[in-house]
Amino acid sequence: MRIAKTATSVIAAGMLAGAGVMALAAPAHAAPCGWQGDGTQDYNHCGDTNVMLTVEHVFGDDDHFCARPGMNNINAGNSPYNTWRTVYAYYDGGPANCFYGWYR
């Protein structure tokens, strides 16, 4: 009886410890930093300040977009383009602390 009680206690402690580790793990759905490449036209900026992105289009005419920290939909709001035109966006060390939106 004593062995069964001890085994039950050890199993319960192991389950609680495992639950604690699971609670500390990062969510599996967290978006990676940068261009999402999933057809959404989203760019996840992981920094603390606004930064200027270079935005590539189907026809090769690159533009610039100032992104805020967090997820940015490149073709939302004041976009001069339809969503299908943007093929990639990246930060290449351009100016920081810009004003959110498109630059031509």
Mean pLDDT of 37-66: 90
pLDDT of residue 86: 85
pLDDT bracket for residue 98 (50, 70, 90): very high
9 SS3 class: helix
pLDDT of residue 11: 52
Q: What is the pLDDT of residues 29-48, one digit of tens each?
A: 578 999 998 878 899 999 99
> What strands lie across the sheet with 63-67, from one edge to the other?
86-96, 51-57, 63-67, 101-103
Instruction: Read off φ and ψ for residue 71, nearest 5 degrees.
Output: -80, 130
pLDDT of residue 14: 47
Q: Which uninterrupted H or E stretch holds 66?
A: strand 63-67
